[in-house]
Chain A
């Protein structure tokens, strides 16, 4: 199939929760190099709250995404609360009232998520933030989907671009957020936000690919 059913999609959120839990220590360690070392702790706090708040028997893709978004926005704070809260809010909004989610709907969700985050934080590409993973990933998805019309192939392209984008932050100097106070000293390590964003995009892509296979 080239689309997945909204009612089957909560698993996409549950998998992201698992991935963040597994990478809690790793994300904090990366953050510790140029930030204050709490990125994994804060992310896991929000994501694991979501695990207990969603009724996984009945929840669909929209509900699970919306619950995750609300928790991050209302209960987590920091920089990542509003950023990822906005991200998943846009995805939930894009999925609302859709029985099935196809490649064009997915593209629209990612696109509005990326532009809302750009507006909120005022960062641009190259500032060593999660946008350096997110923006290339969104573009790669769109380019591949336009060319092939194949949802799964476009997700594979998204994964490759997200990883490449994450790696690109290693050589960047942070220009926004706490790490920007380090100037040149922020060069040489990955950005924690780009790393978690890449993990999340990868996880979403894998889960959606599984859903596409099943049908």
Chain B
């Protein structure tokens, strides 16, 4: 294993040490070593934004802690849900008295732990409402959207929810905005190589050289098809062709686009893909209002990329354009 680790079972702990040292201007630890919070949180009277999930997706999830984004994060083992206790402590860390919006991805473990944490929080008088991201198109057929997992589209959900909270939205309004972001967002992933959890020591799936797995999940969940690895332009087209018909996105729509690497793909190649994707979207009559290209939501050292497209209306445009400051995403207002 060509990896920088000490004791592989302590990889998450060791990573958190470095993260806190490096980004102490934005984030801080809490009493629970598996809960990090934004330095700006909680703000009295403002809805708190909480997320959480397994580790191995840097900058997600802790990289989105910061101003007008996420207030507290529950940190899990690699690819494994945080505990109910961590979610509960994150709710407490984010609560400014106006309730907490827990915005997370659709995975069995996260669903259970959030459910238990929410019951604990309610006993303590903290109001918690949830939005569950399910943007990954290939993970379940149309009509069964509730079964789909959440992937990089979660970033748009946090962005919308965080901005709405910063604008003074009530818990119901923040939840509605985050849900609207999810409902208008679709994603697809393509994997070129597998990834290895350090404590396991070997990849638990394979992608043969010369092939690619279309629809792969960002823990390596198998996709819908294994095909020959073709040119970047052709890969770009097949990804766009999966995402656009599902919502569907139509001529005249304004969109935000996020193309994230899965960890080991050179950013240069993401731009090669993006150039073609942008051209294809424009050919279909879509207007790209904002785009993000880089490693926004990764899967350890997997090679591959996730394309995420969100359809915008005036409200979502305002929220996506709202200024924000975090390790993973910093932008100035427009």
- Which A positions have Cβ atoms within 8 angstroms of B? 28, 32, 35-38, 41-42, 45, 73-79, 81-83, 120-121, 176-178, 180-182, 185
Contact = CB atoms under 8 A, between A and B. Distances in A.
A176 B147 CA distance: 9
B301 to A, nearest CB: 15
A38 B199 contact: yes
Given A36-B197, A41-B199, A83-B112, A77 B82 contact: yes
Contact of B222 (A28, A120, A181): A181
Contact of B80 (A28, A77, A185): A77
Nearest to B32: A74
Question: Chain A's interface: helix, strand, loop or mixed, by majority?
Answer: helix
Give the contact-size bracket for chain B. Answer: 20 to 34
A92 B82 CA distance: 24
A81 B76 CA distance: 11
Given A74-B83, A77-B80, A177 B200 contact: no
Given A32-B200, A121-B108, A77 B221 contact: no
A176 B108 contact: yes
B191 to A, nearest CB: 13
Contact of A82 (B109, B204, B219, B220): B109
A77 B220 contact: no
A38 B197 contact: yes
Interface of B: 9, 54, 76-86, 107-109, 112-113, 115-116, 139, 147, 149, 197, 199-200, 204, 217, 219-222
Nearest to B107: A178
A74 B199 CA distance: 21
A74 B79 contact: no
Contact of A121 (B86, B112, B221, B222): B112
A77 B79 contact: no
A202 to B, nearest CB: 25
Given A28-B200, A178-B221, A42 B108 contact: no
A32 B196 CA distance: 11
A42 B197 contact: no
A38 B221 contact: no
8 contacts: A38-B197, A38-B200, A73-B83, A73-B84, A73-B85, A77-B109, A177-B108, A182-B221
Nearest to B201: A37
A77 B108 contact: no
Contact of A77 (B76, B139, B204, B219): B76
A181 B81 contact: no
